Chain A
Amino acid sequence: MSNIIGIINYGIAGNIHSVKKAIERAGGKTLVINSLSDFDLVDKLIIPGVGSFKDAMQELETGNFISPIKGFGKPILGICLGMQILAELGFEFGKTKGLALIDAEVKPMLCDGKIPHMGFSKISVKVPNILLEGLEDQEFYFMHSYEFVNYTDIIALTKYNDHSFVSAVHRGNLYGVQFHPEKSREAGIKLLSNFIKL
């Protein structure tokens, strides 16, 4: 198998460059996905994410990316906002429908700490998963103001000022991480390498 990792390029807000570099460092080949036909060329998919829920969904719609993502079938990793839009609904700048692939809602973080939650925090693995193999209690970089509210597909939680939130999920071919593996030193590279090997 050729094992090419596709990175969805949607609009100006994606951090494609960092993700591409990190995958290559983890030993993977990448292809930036700019159009529908690119989906056929890749074996796995990464939905990166910087920006707002609403803008991200609009950009995916404009690029006609929604149905190829839904029908992809092979492993997909959503990063930060890329994970959040897997949910049914998002509440950033009004209520927006997500990709609705995971039964979840994305809501503002409610805790005493400064928002956005920004910096390195540990993950606590709740359900062993290949994606997180060898990464128990490792620190990852978080940069977010909203959280993924889900009860059924959690594989890791993280604490921020005594507030626990979902930091990783897995359902079928879908994986999502609230943190940025491409910005999490060697632990992040290890996670991407786990994803490449799936």
Chain B
Amino acid sequence: MTIRVIAKLDVKPPYVVKPVHFEGLRKMGDPSAMAKKYYDQGADELFYIDIVSSLFQREILFHEIDKVANNLFIPFAAGGGVKNIDDFSKMFHMGADKVIINTYAIQENPDIIDKAAKIFGSQAVVVNIEAKRWKTKWECYTDCGRIQSQKDVIDWVREVEQRGAGEILLQSVDTDGRCRGFDNELASKVVDLVSIPVVVSSGAGSLKDIKILIEAANPSGVAIASLLHYDRTTIQEIKKYLNNDVVVSQ
């Protein structure tokens, strides 16, 4: 099985933005146009995260998600500010195939993972983990890398798998947006720990960084933002470099 190459859009509607260490947002462009661009380049999936929804405690902007989902014929995962089963339902209705959840599950009620998995199937529930290294451990953060949770990443990963999560999006507050490589040690630990797919994000600064990640951790997918947003590479180039078959939509 070849690794999935996923384009990740961190969105502060109406713009795709790119934080460094989850801070200092820069405007990157229009979400729908960027989604279409990565679809045309042959992305295997698209992740869309409204990174300020939880932080600002505002309602999810569903119409923004609907716009992005149009003209995408690849899997589309959306998240940011998801708090209940109704939010899941609406996300699917707007064209999401998977829903990404973090803050609410950690801060308020992890049972939402079990509930959503039971109703929509495990494959539709992606748990986003924002990990920050502390000595020899990692702690989970929420609200776009702002709030400490006191939860150990390893314990939490184990828990969400048991609760029925179908996939993990593993991000690192330390390496995100720095373009100096992934936290390979963390990735390797998490991939080995669970039997569900793990998608690793945060830190790709070159094609080589992706290769190093794969050699170290062998994740199911890699989610790329900065490298693509700054046009420093394309999905085709990444796949070619990783010796994947390149599939470009017409």
Contact = CB atoms under 8 A, between A and B. Distances in A.
Contacts of B121: 13, 50-52, 81
Contacts of A12: 89, 92, 119-120
A144 B75 CA distance: 13
Given A18-B97, A119-B221, 13 more contacts: A15-B92, A16-B93, A17-B69, A18-B69, A21-B73, A50-B124, A116-B167, A118-B123, A118-B167, A119-B220, A144-B123, A185-B73, A185-B74
A62 to B, nearest CB: 15
B220 A141 contact: no
Contacts, number: 101
Interface string B191-228: 00001110000000000000000000000110000000
Contacts of B167: 116, 118
Interface-centre pick from A81, A160, A185 (highest chain B CB count, 10 A): A185
A153 interface: no
A188 B75 CA distance: 12
- Per DSSP, are chain B's interface residues mostly helix, strand or loop, or mixed? loop
B53 interface: no
A22 B76 CA distance: 14
B122 A145 contact: yes
B136 interface: no
Given A22-B73, A145-B123, A189-B73, A115 B97 contact: no
Given A13-B119, A55-B119, A183-B75, A119 B92 contact: no
Nearest to B218: A114
Contacts of A161: 1
Nearest to B244: A120
B150 interface: no
A21 B95 contact: yes
B114 interface: no
A4 interface: no
Given A18-B95, A188-B73, A51 B119 contact: yes
A96 B116 CA distance: 21
A115 B120 CA distance: 16
Contacts of B120: 12-13, 50-51
Interface of B: 1-2, 4, 39, 42, 44, 69-70, 73-75, 89, 92-95, 97, 118-124, 166-167, 195-197, 220-221, 245, 247, 249-250
Interface string A105-126: 0000000011111111100000
Given A52-B121, A185-B247, A17 B73 contact: no
Interface in A17-32: 17-18, 21-22, 25
A186 interface: yes
A139 interface: yes
B97 A183 contact: yes
A184 interface: yes
A186 B249 contact: yes
Contacts of A135: none
A162 to B, nearest CB: 10
Interface in A139-161: 139, 141, 143-145, 160-161
A185 B42 CA distance: 8
B229 to A, nearest CB: 22
Given A17-B69, A17-B94, A160-B1, A116 B166 contact: yes
Contacts of B249: 185-186
Nearest to B247: A139
Contacts of B118: 52
25 contacts: A12-B92, A12-B119, A13-B92, A13-B121, A15-B92, A50-B92, A50-B124, A51-B120, A81-B121, A114-B196, A116-B122, A118-B166, A119-B2, A119-B4, A119-B220, A120-B4, A141-B44, A143-B75, A180-B97, A182-B73, A183-B74, A183-B75, A183-B97, A186-B249, A188-B73
A24 to B, nearest CB: 11
A121 B166 CA distance: 19
Nearest to A93: B118
